[in-house]
Structure 1
């Protein structure tokens, strides 16, 4: 109770300060819609695993280990600091008693949550609220940057990043996704501020932002490295193509420029596969199929996306890629739901599918009305989205897990669709 009496007023104060700091932003009317929804989602995540699912899930596993680690910190602060930053901490005898100690990525999350536990007196709900606030504000900044850059897409940005139910819910609370999505938003925000400084007066990244940038990259790599493995190539491919579009390809069609971006993106992924053993094609495919098989083994039959005969070969993966892409973007659909919770997700996915059809049939030329710089940005966002969608569906063919993991790309994909449908011209010509 003492923790709530201290931190609830503090959270309200932080929220009010962030609101005051946002005065003048194009999406200000949506602040008090998006933030309470995020807070409720953070509480809802805990309630979902506490009362709805028959197991408590990762969120409580992280918290339980974090509470013990925070208790250890109060008794041995120096050893705790060593444990946070160094593998040889001198506390291995204690750390080895924690269930998640032998899972490096899960234990990294435990370390992060233990810091919050020290701050919140080891209160699960308060930890979740602080992470929800962090994720909301990161998405809030990105949505406002896009609304400033593309004024006609103001409503699209608000819906996609602040109000889309699956994004609001699955990137909240004490979850890896709340931190990972916040890091993605911060990385993309700084990228946009740097690349479009001329179109965003007064929006140059601050010194603090540059200092925090490698921290966001490190956090994302430690928590969800495959998100970063898709995001950085898309950003780099965009920068290289945009440079060529303003020089050697200046007079070429937007179709050729977009094709160049796709080729550069593929080349970067190919080169990256030789830079790290875990990214080598054979090793990558082995890991992908292994994760697929393990997910199938522990999932209920009615909650699985079936990829019959999937093998760790390029040919087999390519054969299943179209189904994986569709599943990653749009499944489960409403008629595939076997629970009320899946029905809600299915209705949202059905809405996205309808939007996609509208864009393909009626609005695909919208993207050619933008300047090449902005059209290529849309292509890069699309490549990032479809790559993650396909790979996540193949490696985690469980409807519940897929609905959670896809929040890494869903705001960008939904934003592309909504901006094409709702806006006439969403870009400034440069």
Structure 2
């Protein structure tokens, strides 16, 4: 960060807020309007805070590595527009005409997910004199658009919980902090919101098909290009939701019962085929090699962490069987840790407080509702089934590969809005059920009292 950040940031903030106020009426209703500007504001706060913490607390990090690459590309555009354009359109291969620039980029390689983010940041940098903070604000704004799409989708599914859903999707500190700045996470959490919006409107309610298809496709492209494992976690529960919806529309109870196993098997098969086709040949996420990659990644991150935040969930030997074995511990780590006594720095303490809240809310819901009644409620509500399956699949993935809490807190943010939203919807439904149970005797008494008289 330098002086141009101080001068240009207020100007671009004013532009973003002006745009937000101009479009707020179109994308909100009487229930959601009051959250629109505050939600955008915390995204901007997260973007700026992320840069400051990485600069003054960590002394560098990924966000400045992205910016370093954008500076090189910005210089290339300054020297020759053709050279800059060549960098943006080349997929990490050796090109003599631009090697003087690409030779300085340690992320320059074919199919680099980091370079995908760098190229987006570089395009945005052309609009703001390649100012770090303004690029971060652009990322925050893009992320906010996707998160707002996620929020209004949840509200349309279950409007009674709109207040709690705002907390779950828009105001979780870890999500708006790690998911706002010049980072891969900001693009991915926003893109996931578009995927969720597109999926729900195209396949479930079948409304706004053109817009939903465009947003869903754009979100899927970004996720595939940056963090494909998010889409791999999303696909199985999404397909299960589709089959559940189709199964529910069958009028005959006998036919529903007979066809449900078929839908489950077909959904699992389609999900597996989709996952293998999406990742075939990918050295990082190939489904056939996922166990091996999890082992390597976990060992690397655990070995090189220096903040004392490493955790151990058991030994991974490179097979899928070992992942299944440690899966329960991975879920607990991703959803409910670090515990408060495991926090080693202020950033980890923030994550620990959220994890404690998740644990408290989960246990209190199960206690008040009952374990088997909770399972019945989850199974009976497609949105709850989807959210919990997605959260568990992703928790297993990030819990087994992270190896330390510092990495985990970033990797798990895509699942956090879905898990907490599901908890809040469950809480609302359970409270409604308890109120109906309490009212039932009074209603019955009211009906019988005239006869008794």
Choose the corresponding residue for 2:47, options 32, 35, 42: 42
- 1:257-272 counterparts in 2 under 5 A? 266-272=268-274
Gaps of 5+ in 2: 434-453
**Per-residue deviation, residues 55-96 of structure 1 (Å, max 9, x unmatched):** 411100001111210221233223323332333664244212
Q: Is the 8 A contact 2:51 2:181 kept in 1?
A: yes
Alpha-carbon spacing, 1:244–1:390, altered in 2? closer, same or farther (3 Å): same
Cross-structure match for 1:292 = 298
Change (3 A) 1:268 1:174: same
Residue 318 (structure 2) aligned to one of 312, 319, 342: 312
Q: 1:270 to 1:31 in 2, by over 3 A?
A: closer
Across the two proteins, how many residue pairs are aligned to each other? 416
**Cα distance in 2 for residues equivalent to 1:265 and 1:48:** 44
Give the match for residue 171 of structure 1. 179
Provide the residue aligned with 2:77 in structure 1.
73
CA deviation after TM superposition for structure 1 residue 206, in Å? 3.9
Answer yes or no: is the 8 Å Cα contact 1:244–1:250 preserved in 2: no
Partners of 2:194 and 2:132 in 1: how far apart? 25
Question: Whole-Å Cα distance in 2 between the matches of residues 204 and 370 of structure 1?
Answer: 28
1:244 aligns with one of 243, 247, 266: 247
Which of 88, 98, 109 is the equivalent residue of 1:102?
Answer: 109
Q: Is 1:62 the equivalent of 2:69?
A: no
Structure scoring higher RCO (CA < 8 A, sep ≥ 6) equals 1
Say which SS state the counterpart of residue 316 (structure 2) adopts: coil
Equivalent of residue 148 in structure 2, options 132, 136, 140? 140
Structure 2 CA distance for aligned equivalents of residues 178 and 3 of structure 1: 21
Return 40-49 or 102-111, whichever deviates more. 102-111
| Partner Cα separation in structure 2 for residue 92 and residue 228 of structure 1 | 34
**CA 1:74 to 1:268, structure 2 compared with 1: closer, same or farther past 3 Å?**
same
Aligned residue number for residue 407 of structure 1: 413
Note the 1:1-400 alignment, pairs <5 A: 1=4, 3-4=8-9, 6-53=11-58, 55-87=59-91, 90-102=97-109, 104-197=112-205, 204-207=208-211, 209-247=212-250, 250-251=253-254, 266-272=268-274, 274-275=276-277, 276-278=280-282, 281-300=287-306, 302-363=308-369, 365=373, 368=376, 375-400=381-406
Partners of 1:234 and 1:383 within 8 A in 2: yes
Q: How has the CA–CA distance of structure 1 residues 154 and 274 changed in structure 2, closer, same or farther, with 3 Å as cutoff?
A: closer
Cα RMSD for the two superposed structures: 2.8
CA drift of 1:210 comes to 3.1
Q: TM-score w.r.t. structure 1 length? A: 0.88
* Deviation, structure 1 residue 319: 1.9
Matched residues in 2 for 1:5 and 1:35: separation?
Answer: 15
Distance in 2 (alpha carbons) for counterparts of 1:4 and 1:281: 43
Mapped contact 1:135–1:172 kept (Cα < 8 A): yes
- Relative to structure 1, is the Cα distance of residues 176 and 419 closer, same or farther in structure 2, using a 3 angstrom cutoff? same
Partner Cα distance (2:219, 2:326) in 1: 33
Q: Which secondary structure does the structure 2 equivalent of 1:397 belong to?
A: coil
TM-score normalized by structure 2?
0.83
Larger Rg: 2
- Describe the SS at the equivalent of 2:412: helix
Give how far 1:129 is off: 1.2
Take 1:261 and 1:249, find their aligned partners in 2: how far apart are those partners? 16
Q: Deviations over 1:133-161 (max 9, x none)?
A: 22122212221232133121212211100
Instruction: Tell me the distance in 1 between the aligned counterparts of 2:356 and 2:85.
Output: 48
Q: State the shift of 1:354 in Å.
A: 1.2
TM superposition shift of 1:29? 1.6
Distance in 2 of aligned mates of 1:23 and 1:283: 44
1:385-430 superposed Cα distances (whole Å, 9 cap, x missing partner):
111111101111210110111111110001001121234469xxxx
Following the alignment from structure 1 to structure 2, what is the Cα–Cα distance between the partners of residues 264 and 381?
Answer: 20
Residue by residue over 1:166-215, the C-alpha shift from the partner in whole angstroms, topping out at 9 and shown as x without a partner, is: 112111111111100000001111222224447xxxx61445x5344333
2:438 is matched with: none
Task: Assess, with a 3 A threshold, how the Cα gap between structure 1 residues 212 and 315 changes in structure 2: closer, same or farther.
Answer: closer
Write the distance in 2 (CA, Å) between the matches of 1:310 and 1:19: 49
- How many angstroms apart in 2 are the aligned matches of 1:260 and 1:46? 50
